[in-house]
Structure 1
């Protein structure tokens, strides 16, 4: 069988075979040696960045590490400066994978991974999806994601979809008429699994319930559904299970890191302890006991191009008391949910649609620090943002054009530059909020 997915990774310069080999070696480390393995790997990545990354060395204030808990906790504000200032030495663009965070927390930035680390990340994905008999080289994915609307971006994503055996359902418009088209595709295509944004998939399930249709009945090849990027509430999970007729797997990840936690076949939210070290910290940056809630702080164990060491992702969570070093279990994730925008035409768009809109204001100069979008009326929105320099008229026009393209024309937007933004009582920004 031609492994198109593996081939596409190789063509992009990712050493996937070496990444898989590294990952298999990590899996082979026994439980009784795992704490020592983690300590060694953590020390190696920290020492690498202290020696080779001026940005991290300055942040730490020293070239040495005495105690892990004394290391600085990175936040997204620390990273809102040009990427070139944050890269390790000897990591030119040819050796790295560069991308933007979604900005779903309201604090966007550009990040990098070295290509070897990214290959290990893909090996992590392969293994976890394999728990449910999903193989990226052969399984056909129904993908509920957005897609760029500019010609080059659109064609690029469609090519990636082809190489990755994916059929994309664009989630910018989720009106009944569009969902009827989705249904037709499920009747005619042999999908193995569904993957995508939680809110979009939940809207599709509600549509199926209204029509009294079980998805597995019309698409018998379906095995499993993985939801990501937004919180999955228990009642929504029950709805998905009943309307799809397949297991629902809850995925928690971050583009700049990897899968952070992935529901295993026993229903446990298993934390990725192979490529990441996940801590739950209190307000003084000290670890809390298992079973207690705190800030989720993550170290990327293999990314040498860019430091993600004790990186505060902006979420609150609880580790289960039965967690071990080799198999930590996320008992609860608190936060991460998006509203649905209802527009004058009747069109419904998930809050994550704004990821594609706000991309147009994310530039690699760190000017826009934070932003939130509020829907105040059916056709009116407010954008509140914190920046060093006020957005210019051309920038605002660019945003309005993107809004017309991704949502619909005729929407009114007001822009307000602020010194700080309103946060939840847990200190988290919610990028989109409907006031309707």
Structure 2
């Protein structure tokens, strides 16, 4: 029965607007314990215990890995062949170790697409089909996740959000969509069940910002969730009209995009002393990391969510602190279509290796997703991490409403920009000069006025519109 309700909770969150509209009034009357369910509560307790008990975290990590391998070997022809090829016909998941995991090959999207339903460890009817958006010359990727995953997934997300004071009873404003699905003319809508005020990212005119603030005040909202680029736009709008919410915003809950230092600085400058609850996750549910409190840009991977490896170009574990590697994940959250040693295409720099003593918690910096890379490419083919040269001082952005880097040639970068009402050419020239000085001649900048910074279909606005394949170029610096 618990599993059935978990499926229904996921159906509400991910279901069509008509279904949510019909169910929302009733769901809003439920107390948080019933709304989130026993699975969610149990996982929150496990996550909390693991955070304070490294031995428990280590034991759960190994037990979950063994359970995953047993399920994959038993139910998936694709993984059974892979495991038998590595370990022989006498494979015993009960004695499987982290060292054994490295005997299996690293797989990618192409492998899983070729495997098709042979990668499933459960019947197709127990799974949801999910399709990621293609970007940066990547094709969309279709895969399958457990229907009952939502309470488990939200337990990890709410654990991170709780660090900013957010709880199951909190209301939030959400900036997630270019427009509101099913109601293109609307700029905002309220979901009473989730206590969520949904705000359209585009066009976000001055009038829209006034309306959004009115709604935030009316509902006494103190948390803002959404794409960092969209939250940045909202804060720029607040600055433009000289108004902020009547109740101070307590927490910013960024999702789906990297949070850049200049965005963090701008949001803090507009909203004051606000907490940022930042996490890294993937649509495929193979890895989950939270930013370490007080350590901007330092991420710690949760061992209850999966095994996360950092591998060099030859597929060996990165062991040197400060060395870069690619992130390979083995996920525990959704196991109906297992992801075992899955190459995410993302990068990171090693800070601390996972060990039994630290509860198998890998720590990395310079986390850069390939889908929206942080990297610019110099003329000599080196990757330059953009956050190392982007100004943190909000004053350097005076007069600039929006900007974005665009690159399709190594060493050449266009700064696409939109000035605000008080801006002038001198403002973009000031930013241009700063960037040229920071990169010491490794990049040639030009500035290009545009009428709009393009967003993706979901409202995401890439900080770098990178048209080069960053995997072809060398390690990052800057």
Judge same fold: TM > 0.5, yes or no. Answer: yes
* 1:84-131 residue CA offsets vs partner (Å, 9 max, x unmatched): 453223x332x3343222435634222222245443222222222222
**Aligned twin of 2:111:** 78
Q: Which one of the candidate residues 323, 326, 333 is aligned to 2:367? A: 333
Which moved further from structure 2: 34-43 or 222-231? 34-43
Give the deviation of 1:18 after TM superposition.
2.7
d(CA) in 1 for partners of 2:239, 2:81: 55
Structure 1 residue 350 corresponds to structure 2 residue 378: no
Farther-moved stretch of structure 1 (242-251 vs 255-264): 255-264
- Once the two structures are TM-superposed, the CA of residue 133 in structure 1 deviates from its matched residue by 2.2
CA–CA distance in 2 between the matches of 1:32 and 1:320?
21
Pair 1:235 & 2:256 matched: no
**1:227-253 CA distance string (max 9 Å, x none):** 122222212211111112212232322
> Structure 1 pair 139/113, CA: closer, same or farther in 2 (3 Å)?
same
Q: Output the CA distance in 2 between the equivalents of 1:254 and 1:146.
A: 18
User: Within 2, Cα distance between the matches of 1:158 and 1:97?
Assistant: 26
Query: Any idea what SS the aligned residue of 1:284 has?
Result: coil
Task: Measure how far apart 1:49 and its partner are.
Answer: 0.6
Structure 1 counterpart of 2:198, from 152, 168, 184: 168
Q: Could you tell me how far apart the structure 1 residues matched to 2:228 and 2:7 are?
A: 29
Could you report, residue by residue, the CA deviation over 1:295-325 in whole angstroms, capped at 9, with x for unpaired residues?
Answer: 0111112422111111111111123238633
Q: Larger C-alpha radius of gyration, 1 or 2?
A: 2
Q: 1:208 aligns with which of 238, 252, 259?
A: 238
Structure 2 CA distance for partners of 1:39 and 1:423, relative to 1, 3 Å: farther
Whole-angstrom CA distance in 2 between matches of 1:127 and 1:354: 26
Gaps of 5+ in 1: 357-371, 376-420, 429-436
Q: How do 1:96-111 residues align onto structure 2 when only pairs under 5 Å count?
A: 96-104=127-135, 106-111=138-143
Checking the alignment, whether the CA contact within 8 Å between 1:112 and 1:306 is kept in structure 2 is yes
Query: Are 2:341 and 1:310 aligned?
Result: yes
Contact 1:121 1:258 in 2 (8 A): no
Question: Conserved in 2, the CA contact under 8 Å of 1:261 and 1:330?
Answer: no
Aligned length: 355
In structure 2, stretches of 5+ residues that fail to align are 14-34, 375-403, 406-415, 419-448, 474-478
Q: Distance in 2 between matches of 1:32 and 1:251?
A: 24
The counterpart of 2:216, out of the listed 186, 196, 213, is 186
Highest RCO, 1 vs 2 (Cα 8 Å, sep ≥ 6): 1
Quickly say closer, same or farther: Cα 1:311–1:132, change in 2 above 3 A.
Answer: same
Alpha carbons 1:143, 1:166 under 8 Å: kept: yes
Distance 1:293 1:299 in 2: 19
Offset of residue 179 of structure 1: 3.3
Quote the Cα distance in structure 2 between the aligned partners of 1:123 and 1:80: 30
Q: For residue 28 of structure 1, what is the aligned residue in structure 2?
A: 49
**Alignment partner, residue 134 of structure 1:** 166
1:262 has 2:290 as partner: yes
1:80-95 equivalence runs, <5 A: 80=113, 84-89=117-122, 91-93=123-125, 95=126
SS state of the match for residue 274, structure 1?
A: coil
Name the CA shift for 1:354/1:85 in 2 (closer, same or farther; >3 Å): farther
From the superposition, tell whether residues 182 and 149 of structure 1 become closer, same or farther in structure 2 (CA, over 3 Å).
closer
CA distance in 2, matches of 1:306, 1:181: 43
C-alpha distance in 2, partners of 1:285/1:171?
Answer: 40
Q: Which of 292, 311, 318 is 1:288 aligned to?
A: 318
Is the deviation greater in 340-349 or in 39-48? 340-349
Q: Who is 1:38 aligned against?
A: 61
Indicate the larger mover: 329-338 or 184-193. 329-338
Relative distance call for 1:11 and 1:425 in structure 2 (3 A) is closer
Q: 8 Å contact 1:263–1:269 — kept in the other structure?
A: yes
Asked if 2 retains the 8 angstrom alpha-carbon contact of 1:19 and 1:116, the reply is no
Aligned to 1:274: 304
Q: Report what 2:144 is aligned to.
A: 112
Q: What are the superposed Cα offsets for residues 162-217 of structure 1, whole Å, 9 maximum, x if unpaired?
A: 4211111111323444334333433433112111111111122223333444x3xx
2:277 to 249, 274, 288: 249
Bigger drift between 313-322 and 17-26 goes to 17-26
TM-score (norm: length of structure 2): 0.63
Structure 1 residues 336-345 or 324-333, which shifts more? 336-345
Separation in 2, partners of 1:162, 1:6: 19
Change (3 A) 1:427 1:154: farther
Q: How many angstroms apart in 2 are the aligned matches of 1:133 and 1:325?
A: 25
Aligned match of 2:377: none
Is 2:235–2:266's contact at 8 Å kept on the other side of the alignment? yes
Matched, 1:62 2:93: no
